[in-house]
Each structure stands twice: as structure tokens, then as C-alpha cells.
Chains A and B, each alone.
Chain A
Amino acid sequence: MSPSSTTAPAWQEAVFKVLKQGGVRQIAYVPDAGHSHAIRSAIADPDIEDIVLTTEEEGVALVCGAWLGGQRAVLLMQSSGVGNCVNMFSLLQAADFPFFTLVTMRGEYAEFNPWQGPMGKATQAALELMGIHVLRVSHPDEAEEIISAGFDAAFEAGEKVAVLLGQNLIGRKKWERN
């Protein structure tokens, strides 16, 4: 496999840079193309456990277990996965766990697939209803600063933070296979 650092967009490299420099030891995910660099990098990093999930709420419980054991862990998911997590978010409030998730957005900008619309448009409100602070990245040049700010709020102040990676940041999905 060729080094991903030569092919990934800079904002995707910023994601993994923040996680790595922040001492993250576990990266749990349900895959998305927008997270592909961070996932590849986690798999390649001997100091980071990569954990592929069957559904996103597993990741909410898993990162709390990691914190209980003294490690920083984060959850990567797509906006549809936020809906899968709603009751499990109770764990964050009930036990006051730090929480950091990066959410790639669908259903909000140049969306081709109508099935992504309902959850994509409800993602931010669903997070906020469950007490999670929401930040958003829309431009590549602000990615590192905003992701880093959310990360520090989670692990330095114990907050529960989601950073939404906007669909305009990620770019239009290519539907044609050549």
C-alpha cells in the first residue's frame, strides 16, 4: 500500500495529526470515505488500536471503557450513525465521561441520495438534545484548529464534543464508476 499521506486531503491529515498528538490510543469507527485517512493511519500505527464497530453506539460505550482504563479514545462515524447512538449517549451524561467524536456529514449539501436526508438534517439537533457540544468544519484551512479545539475541550475539560465535518468540506460524492 502506498503511503496515504501523499494522497489524503490536508484536512484529513489534520484529523489524524490532532488525534495522534493528543495521545489517542483507541480509534473506534464505522467507516466513511471522509475518515479513510484516519482509519488507515490508525491501522498502521502500532501505538493505536483500531476498532471497527458493527454499529456506532458500541463506540460510545467503548470510548467510556477506555477512559475508565486510563486511555483517550475517539469515535469516527457518519451522520447517519448519530441516530444509532442516541440512548447510549445517556452514558456520557450519567457518568460524566469525556467524549470526542468526528462526524462526516451527509444529506446537507449536494446530496444525491434522498435516504441520507432525514438523519443528516437532524444530526446536529440530535447531538445537542443529548447534551453534546457541536462544532463544525466547513473549510479545509480551519480543520486543524477547530478539531484541536474540540479535542482539548473533551480531554482537558471533560466535555462531550462532536465536530461535524461538513459535506461541503468533504466534497461531492462521485456516483459514476469508470
Chain B
Amino acid sequence: MTQATPRRANRREFVARLLAGVPDALVITGLGSATYDVFAAQDRDHNYYLWGAMGGAAPMGLGLALAQPDRPVVVITGDGEHLMGIGSLATIGAKQPKNLTVVILDNGHFGETGMQRSHSSLGTDLVAVAKGFGIADAFTVDTLAGCDDVVHRIQARAGVAYAQIFIEADEPPRALPPRDGPFIKNRFRVALGLQPF
């Protein structure tokens, strides 16, 4: 089966442009390459990097978005991580948090484990799935310039949005953020002005 689209963005360029456009957004990253992409673009106190908990990025973003309704929240994850927790899109569709945007970096493969093909290059249409779960503002992006549409949605906080980004199935150099979960948790909370218990 051929790829669904011939045009694809470079993942590192895309994520760098996205983060540059949303300086105040709270970001949750899914394990694997999405975590590396976000760290490579810009390490910020209000990034939360997952190194495990596969399938958990989107529901974690939902809990954060409900807790911080006045801040834009962005989940940036890969197609494989996302598919493991795909039901969480139904949960997000039920809640419709206006300040949450889910960004899927879709290379159609499990990049971390040897580039095995994933469902999104074997027949799954993620935008149709998102729409089916009640997320009306779901769309694809296949160019770097298309990043600006995603930035606009994030900044507007006018409704939950879902962006499937077709990216090249390459393997950029590793860029490894801290693996110390309590450190990145506490750093994140301090950035929001929250106190220790």
C-alpha cells in the first residue's frame, strides 16, 4: 500500500516552528520521538516530557486543560503512542475543552522500535477517527507552512482541535530531555506558580 499522501513535513522543523508560535502553551509530549522533537526545539519549564505511559499523553493533556482553562494546552505525540490510547479521543470529544489541541506527528510507523508500519499507514484515517469521536475541528497538515494553522488554533482557545501532521519517516539525531519525572513535574508546577504540598 502506498502512503496516503506524497507530501510530508520535516518533524524537527515543524515542531520548532510550532513551539516558537505558542510561547505560553503548556505542552505534554508522548514517549519516543515526539518527546525528543520538543526538547530539541526548545526546553521549557512548561513542557512535560513522557518517557513511558504509552497512550497517556492525550488524557494527561485533558486533565491539564481542564485544570488550566486560561492557558493553551498542546499534546504533541506520535501516531503509535496515540493509537494505544485512541479511546481518550472519545473522552476529549465528550468534554470539548476549548483550550486543548492534540497534534499527531504521523510518520505511519513505530519509529522507536525499528520503523515497523503502524495502523495509520495501513488503513486508519486518524482525522476521520477524531471527527467520529466528536472533534469537529480535525484536519491534516503536510507542509511546514501549514504549521501556522495549528498555531492559530492553539492560540485562539476557541475549541478543541486535532491536527494530524504528515511527517517524513526519518530518524533525526537523538535529543534526550531529562528522564527524572519528579524533576520535570516539579519544574512544570513551579512555572505555574503552584506550591509543593
Where the two chains meet, the residues of A that have a C-beta atom closer than 8 Å to any C-beta of B are 25-26, 28, 49, 51-55, 57-71, 73, 87-88, 90-91, 94-98, 155-158
Contact = CB atoms under 8 A, between A and B. Distances in A.
28 contacts: A26-B67, A52-B91, A53-B87, A54-B88, A58-B55, A58-B88, A61-B55, A61-B56, A62-B59, A62-B62, A64-B56, A65-B59, A65-B64, A68-B185, A69-B65, A69-B67, A70-B67, A71-B67, A73-B63, A90-B52, A91-B50, A91-B56, A94-B51, A95-B181, A95-B182, A96-B181, A157-B197, A158-B197
B185 A65 contact: no
A69 B90 contact: no
A54 B55 CA distance: 13
A65 B60 contact: yes
Main secondary structure of the interface of B (DSSP, over half): helix
B53 A58 contact: no
Given A51-B62, A65-B28, A88-B55, A58 B181 contact: no
B69 to A, nearest CB: 9
A88 B56 CA distance: 7
A83 to B, nearest CB: 15
Given A65-B61, A90-B53, A94-B52, A54 B181 contact: no
A91 B67 contact: no
A58 B61 contact: no
Given A51-B95, A61-B60, A25 B55 contact: no
A166 B62 CA distance: 31
Main secondary structure of the interface of A (DSSP, over half): helix
B53 A87 contact: yes
Contacts of B52: 87, 90-91, 94
Most chain B CB neighbours (cut-off 10 Å) among A61, A88, A97, A157: A61
Interface in B27-42: 28
Interface string B67-92: 11000000000000000010110110
Contacts of A57: 55-56, 85
Contact of B194 (A54, A59, A70, A156): A70
B184 interface: yes
B53 A61 contact: yes
A70 B192 contact: yes
B19 interface: no
Contact of B59 (A59, A70, A94, A97): A59
A94 B181 contact: yes
Nearest to A98: B197
